[in-house]
Amino acid sequence: MAAADPNPSLFVRPLGAVEKNPTALKLILGGKLRELRSVAGLDPADVDVRLGFSRSKTSRIELGRNGCKAADALALLALYEVTGEERIAEFLRLAQQSRQADWWRSYSDVLSDFFTPLVALEGAAERIRTYEPFYVPGLLQTSAYTRAVIKAGPGHLLTHEAERRVRLRQERQRQLDQPDAPHLWAVLDESVLMRAVGGPEVMRAQLEHLVEMMRRSRVTVQIAPLDVTAAIGVGTGVTYLRFALSDLKDAVYIEHLTDSTFNQRPQVVEQYRDMLDRLGACALTPAQSLEALRERIDKL
């Protein structure tokens, strides 16, 4: 029997796509610090006082809302009696990576606060499952279709603002081109095919793009007939993020007209996962969905 590693890694390995996602790293580092604090028998207020932190600083770090500076990380690890040069160096390296700028921050001028959690974490997911009752999912949209959706949305945007949102969506889509891209499984309400968003030509190009995307091994598209979605009663768009690492909790994003809900509570996530399971089981198979798309294209 092999001897136990005297200095085991603080983190589950390999990190994969997560290692390039500062937001995900903040959450992982924060969660690990929370575990270490709990083992040490301290509460966040105790840590703040002992280390001379500002009020609630420890909690903000643990929740992934704040990055962790090297000096703060060393102080926390010393307080929690974490030893071993390799473990400490590993933590410091990931802490530094977590403080890098996320790619999407350059679009903060057009990125709504309620949409940020999804954009920040979808690239770190192993699997993205989504149901859309009104439009083709953003990760599968053509630029012309996106423009039409944005134009039809609430509020009035200037031309350059609308184009910035189009580019943001295109940047999100590029994550699907990465070697460690998540598997995207999208279920579309049948009515999505019937709405000629942007006109027949734009819609035809969009459906042809869907057909093309379905050739990818990591993209699955299903069409849910109207009687299926009526029976299951989804009612709104839902996106579920599944992460490969146990250090990251699965999450659901539920979109409304002018805001959204991003939730990682296991009991809530499980309810939406079950709903998506039932949708997938009752929807057309991918092969049947492909045929439905081709039939609709022929009619445009």
Residue 10 lies in a domain: no
H/E run at residue 203: helix 200-213
Residue 44 lies in a domain: yes
Q: Are 120 and 23 in contact (CB under 8 A)?
A: yes
If asked whether residues 220 and 280 sit together in one domain, one would say yes
Q: What is the pLDDT of residue 4?
A: 39
If asked whether residues 88 and 116 sit together in one domain, one would say no
Question: 22-40 vs 70-79: helix axis angle to the nearest 10?
Answer: 30
Tokens of 237: 């768009």
Higher pLDDT, residue 33 or 2: 33
Last residue of a domain, one of 76, 100, 124: 100
Residue 245 pLDDT greater than 50, yes or no: yes
Higher pLDDT, residue 1 or 127: 127
CB atoms within 10 A of CB 46: 14
What global pTM score does this model have? Answer: 0.90
If asked whether residues 130 and 62 sit together in one domain, one would say no
In 3-state terms, what secondary structure has residue 129? Answer: strand
Q: What is the pLDDT of residue 1?
A: 35
Q: What is the pLDDT of residue 2?
A: 37
If asked whether residues 239 and 170 sit together in one domain, one would say yes
If asked whether residues 76 and 181 sit together in one domain, one would say no
Per the structure, the complete domain to which residue 32 belongs is given by 16-100
Per-residue pLDDT tens digits for 30-63: 999 999 999 999 999 999 999 999 999 999 999 9
If asked whether residues 192 and 68 sit together in one domain, one would say no
Separation of alpha carbons 56 and 77, rounded Å: 18
Amino acid identity of 157? L
Residue 284 pLDDT greater than 50, yes or no: yes
Last residue of a domain, one of 100, 135, 158: 100
Q: What percent of the chain has pLDDT over 70?
A: 96
Q: What is the pLDDT of residue 6?
A: 47
Residue 156 pLDDT greater than 90, yes or no: no
Give me the sign of the Cα torsion angle 155, 160, 164, 166: positive
Give the confidence band of 257 by pLDDT, cuts at 50, 70, 90: low
Residues 6+ apart with CB under 8 A from 222: 185, 186, 187, 188, 279, 280, 283, 284, 285, 286, 289
